[in-house]
Structures are given as C-alpha cells and as structure tokens.
Amino acid sequence: MARNILFLFRLFVFLMCIFQVFGHTSPDLPDGWFSAGDSPNDYLMGVDHTIFYGRAPGSSGFIKALPSANDKGFGTMMQNFFPKKFIGKRVRLSCFVKHENVLGWAGMWMRVDTIMENVLDNMFDRKITGTGDWVKFESVLDVPKDTINLAFGILLSGAGEAWLDNCKFEIVDSSVSTTATTPKKLDHPINLSFQS
C-alpha cells in the first residue's frame, strides 16, 4: 500500500513538472486571430495561460521567435474586421505589451485599409526592444468613410518574445494626435528641384 502511495505521489509530481514546462502555453490561436507576416513560420504564436496582465485567472496572446527567425523578416498575430461603428471617426487602440529578450524589435500595430490606400502604425518609430514588464501602448488612426478593413495585432522581428493583453478600441476626438507611421499621400508633387 505504501509503495502504491509513493508511486502515485511520484506520478503526481512528474505530471505537475510536465504541466509547468509544457502546459502554460497553447500554440492554438484564439478565435478571430491568425498568423501572418512575411515569415510567420519562424514564430510560435498562441495563448499563454500563466503570463497575463491583471488579476488571475487570465491569459494573453504571445509571439515567440523560433531559432530560424531573423530581423530581416517578421511574424504577426493579428485579426481584422470591418469597422462599422468607427467609420468617419478617429480611433485609439490601446493594449498592454510585455516583452522579453527582444533583439530585433516588436510592436503593437493597427492598419486602416481604404479603397485608395493603407494607413499603418506599426510602432516602427517607437520600437519595443530588450526586456520589459507590462506597458500600455496606444495607436491612433483616422477611419475614413471609404474604409473597407481595420487590422491590428502584435508583431515581432528577430529574436525574443512578446505578449499582448487587454486590448481596447475607443473613439477619440481630433485633439488626440494620430500615430501613423505611413507617410501621408500628397495630392500634388513637391520638392521637384530637390531643395531642402
């Protein structure tokens, strides 16, 4: 009897160790999310049930570079939708991001696709690098009347890992500046003589 109890105890400890090593993440993407980028197969993406922002129980989305990843490409965990209630408005996306050993760069991003152009804020001008705890990041873009799609997510270029949690969309007024990293399209040519 004592031998059986000792065996069951050892089995329990072994299974708990396995769960601690392998059970905290799931490579399955949650409903609505998908992987993309120019090198999505170089990144593992899914749900982490042990690292999250806020109180337990919780979970977060994560993206982690595989050994094949390099900073010449990127992967992203994203979703897109038709922004019916945001048409003609200025929209702020805010998310909490945690990152670890990011040697290339990471960024929370939002893109507005219209019939004529795509406007993007991928945080290229304020890259997330290194290691850091949960920080709230924001992206603000206008959603014109001819918008056909709004996309957003977390991207990673190169080694490291990043987590995304508690994302929120809200309408803001014109006093809040946009954060677009895509240059605005001109309606006329400029600087044709290449003068400063």
Map out the domains of the chain as residue ranges: 24-172
Where residue 12 falls among pLDDT bands split at 50, 70, 90?
very low
Where residue 1 falls among pLDDT bands split at 50, 70, 90?
low
Contact assessment for residue 87 and residue 148, using Cβ atoms and an 8 Å cutoff: no
Contact assessment for residue 135 and residue 95, using Cβ atoms and an 8 Å cutoff: no
The pLDDT, as a whole number, for residue 22 is: 44
- Tens-place pLDDT, residues 73-84: 999 999 999 999
For 188, the token pair is: 């006329």
Best CA proximity match to 45, nearest among 19, 21, 17, 74: 74
Is pLDDT above 60 for 127?
Answer: yes
Omega prior to 57 cis, within 30 of 0: yes
Is pLDDT above 90 for 67?
Answer: yes
The pLDDT, as a whole number, for residue 106 is: 98
What is the rounded average pLDDT of the residues 93-104?
Answer: 97
The pLDDT, as a whole number, for residue 190 is: 79
What is the rounded average pLDDT of the residues 19-29?
Answer: 59
Is pLDDT above 90 for 56?
Answer: no
Where residue 107 falls among pLDDT bands split at 50, 70, 90?
very high
What is the rounded average pLDDT of the residues 167-174?
Answer: 97
Strand partners, 76: 36, 155
Strands (E), the chain: 25-26, 34-36, 43-48, 60-65, 75-81, 89-114, 118-121, 128-143, 147-157, 161-172
The pLDDT, as a whole number, for residue 193 is: 76
Number of Cα atoms under 13 Å in the Cβ half of residue 26: 8
What is the rounded average pLDDT of the residues 106-118?
Answer: 95
What architecture is domain 24-172? Sandwich (2.60)
The pLDDT, as a whole number, for residue 9 is: 52
Is pLDDT above 70 for 2?
Answer: no
Distance CA 136, CA 124 (A): 16
